[in-house]
Amino acid sequence: MLKKQLKLIDVYAISTGTTLSAGFFLLPGLAATQAGPAMIFAYIIAAIVIIPPMFSIVELATAMPRAGGVYYFIDRALGPLAGTIGGIGTWMALILKVSFALIGMGAYIEIFFPKLPIVPLAVSFALLIGVINIYGTKKSGRLQIFLVAGLLLILICFITIGFPEINKIHFKSIFETGFSPILATSGLVYISYVGITNVASLSEEVQNPERNLPLGIFLSLGTAFIIYTLGTIVMVGVLPIEKLAGDLTPAASAAERFFGRSGTILVSIAALLAFVSVANGGTLSASRYPLAMSRDKIFPQFFNKISKHGTPVASIILTVIVIITFLIIFDPTKIAKLASAFQLLIFALVCLSVIIMRESKIDSYDPGFRSPFYPYLQFFGMFASLALIILMGLLPIIFTLSFVILGTFWYWFYAKDKVIRNGAIYHIFERLGKARYTGLDTELRGILKEKGLRAEDPFDQIVARSHVIDLKQKAEFEEVVKIASQWFCKFVNHSAEEITELFLEGTRIGATPVTHGIALPHLRLKWFKRTEMVLVRCIQGVHIKLKNPLTDFKEEDKIVTAVFFLVSPESDPALHLRILAQIAGRVDQDSFIIDWNMAKDDHEIKEAILNEDRYMLLEIGKDGNTENIIEQQISELNIQEGCLVIWLRRDDQIIIPRGNTIIKRGDRLTIIGDQGGMKKLKEKFSVK
């Protein structure tokens, strides 16, 4: 596993930094050649076209935060052949964009140093960025924050100072070119926005990806849209169209008009920050593709190795070597634009992947963000992406097809015999009589366990109101099931016998997980109003017979000391799976079995299942900073929002606290809540 080192600011900086580069500092001059002053609308249209794949990528990334980004999503949705084509093609497209950015610095450097050798300088930057990437994603993220902060500051100055200098007469001929050139130009400038979604390849390294990925990407798109729209308005308004058209340094030329030589210098610094930012963020994103494909045996296994710094060294080295090769052998400025055509094909496949994942009806597909206007937005995204490829001409179409052929050959002659999985599309095929790939559901359940609970998930409340059965003698699983079913039948229109049979049937077909001496029988029942749980402890052991799906469903005998029965409403399978994943994560912790066996009563049994990050025990008069709350009411504690005192132990008595309950010396409070609130409470009362 890669380290989760990226915060919201890192996501925003990487996404923004890989977007604001050539699209602002180079392409406006080329776009003006095709569309004249109306190239402003080309940027707006390109931003609209990026919205469907952006929403689709965010949905997939919050469901499957894994290195490799769009490769991983396409592979798991459409199968390994499509994944290989998408992975290799996107990796190469990113490399071309990085090479383009490194060479693109030359146009601005030549303003001041006309005789400086550009290629050796670009190679040096590539090596330096590679070294920074090797020494940690966090260091790369910090560099990206610095670069983007400087870039945005200068661009804000450019727009603020440039707007009063706009000459309205430059916009008089804005509609003379017609609509067709604007559409064609939108295909050219589309590459300006594609960097927004590149951060998805780093989703495995993002803290709280269900929040930080969508928010970071949406903020980045908003920033890019405002900068591109206002920036191009300034360029058109300041420069005559004959001067702007074909200018390879349009931003510097515009700044010189209203800010003199110092404006040229300032904008050139911004351009260098932008190009280095693209190179850093692009290298960071691109290097995760060989890693992800190596994990899936599409690339050789040594690319899967993680260094002590938590980075895929071999994958980074390979990516940098290919970048340097392109810099030396090819002219990236001529072929990088072609890469945007392949990127459009990938975005069409990403939109299709969302449709496949949703229609596969896999319970464990549980995105933290769901794309709005499904599936119409996805169909529009596929159509618009393919239409732009056609509008870009024959050469981009040939270039895109060449990547498709390359990926097909690699899969057929190298990876086909090594890969033993299929995508979610097989779950749709199941309806047509073909076999689905069950391994994907298992993989997604593993991802659920890693992601953990959402802030709104009522896990702690479910544990707090759960029913505890503490058995003193050895027992058979069937007996325990009958006892638990007597309690569950109070909540649903099913008899205890019916619920018992459902639990036993699940165990017979291998649907009851058994791990670390714990069994997790679970059901989803129609008309069940809320999730309920029964905790069974039996230190002497519960004997259970089950069929293990990992051993071809051979019958096995197991002894467990804990059985957690979980019943949820049929309507919310994702919540049901997240709760199961949370329990599995807790029993994996070394402290669980000790807390479980040492628990003195029902309340301590419940405390044992609570995650250490989501609850705390506060002993009044013993823990630090608690003296001043003695003789106060519970309501006067002012505990953090999202936290709750669920019970109070006084001597051997358990008290369900109310707002007017008086706190006494020696009381022991059990408090549950979200991780952020619990962390603040523990700091307030000096509890470790």
Distance CA(469)–CA(548), nearest Å, equals 26
**pLDDT value of position 433:** 46
Indicate whether 333 pLDDT > 80.
Answer: no
**pLDDT value of position 451:** 67
* CA distances for 628 relative to 608, 623, 636, 650, 681, angstroms: 29, 11, 11, 18, 15
CB atoms within 10 A of CB 668: 17
Query: The tokens of 257 are what?
Result: 């008009």
Range from 55-64, 197-206, 425-434 carrying the lowest mean pLDDT: 425-434
For 628-637, the pLDDT digits (tens) are: 788 888 877 7
Q: Are 157 and 224 in contact (CB under 8 A)?
A: no
Q: Which residues pair with 522 in a beta bridge?
A: 566
Cβ neighbourhood burial of 459 (10 Å; 0-12, 13-18, 19+): buried
The phi and psi torsions of 538 (rounded to 5 degrees) equal: -145, 95
Indicate whether 563 pLDDT > 90.
Answer: yes
Q: Are 671 and 646 in contact (CB under 8 A)?
A: yes
Q: Which long-range contacts (CB under 8 A, 24 or more apart) does 507-511 make?
A: 507/477, 507/544, 507/545, 507/546, 507/547, 508/546, 508/547, 509/547, 510/546, 510/547, 510/548, 510/549, 510/553
Indicate whether 400 pLDDT > 70.
Answer: yes
For 590-608, the pLDDT digits (tens) are: 888 888 988 888 888 888 8
Q: Are 525 and 494 in contact (CB under 8 A)?
A: yes
Q: Which residues pair with 475 in a beta bridge?
A: 542
Distance CA(26)–CA(503), nearest Å, equals 65
**pLDDT value of position 70:** 83
Mean pLDDT of all residues in the chain? 82
For 210-228, the pLDDT digits (tens) are: 888 889 999 999 999 999 9
Which is more confidently placed, 402 or 686? 402
Spell 94-125 as b/e; 16+ CB within 10 A means b. bbbbbbbbbbbbbbbbebeeeeeebeebbbeb
Kind and range of the H or E run holding 535: strand 532-548
- The confidence band for 140, taking pLDDT boundaries of 50, 70 and 90, is low
Distance CA(404)–CA(411), nearest Å, equals 11
Distance CA(14)–CA(141), nearest Å, equals 7
Average pLDDT over residues 156-164: 90
For 404-462, the pLDDT digits (tens) are: 898 899 989 888 888 765 655 555 545 544 445 556 556 666 666 666 677 777 888 88
Q: What is the DSSP letter of 564?
A: E
How many helices and strands in the chain, by DSSP H and E? 26, 11
* CA distances for 580 relative to 230, 453, 513, 605, angstroms: 49, 10, 10, 18
Which is more confidently placed, 144 or 545? 545
Interhelix angle 288-295/70-78, nearest 10 degrees: 30
Closest by alpha carbon to 667, among 607, 610, 627?
Answer: 627
State percent of the chain over pLDDT 70. Answer: 89
Q: Are 78 and 349 in contact (CB under 8 A)?
A: yes
Residues 6+ apart with CB under 8 A from 12: 148, 216, 219, 220
Average pLDDT over residues 535-542: 93
For 476-493, the pLDDT digits (tens) are: 999 999 999 999 988 888
For 636-654, the pLDDT digits (tens) are: 777 777 778 877 888 777 7
Average pLDDT over residues 168-180: 81
**pLDDT value of position 647:** 76
Residues 6+ apart with CB under 8 A from 613: 675, 678, 679
**pLDDT value of position 478:** 93
Indicate whether 113 pLDDT > 70.
Answer: yes
**pLDDT value of position 107:** 64
In the chain, the domains with their CATH numbers are: 8-415 (1.20.1740.10), 457-610 (3.40.930.10), 613-688 (3.30.70.1450)
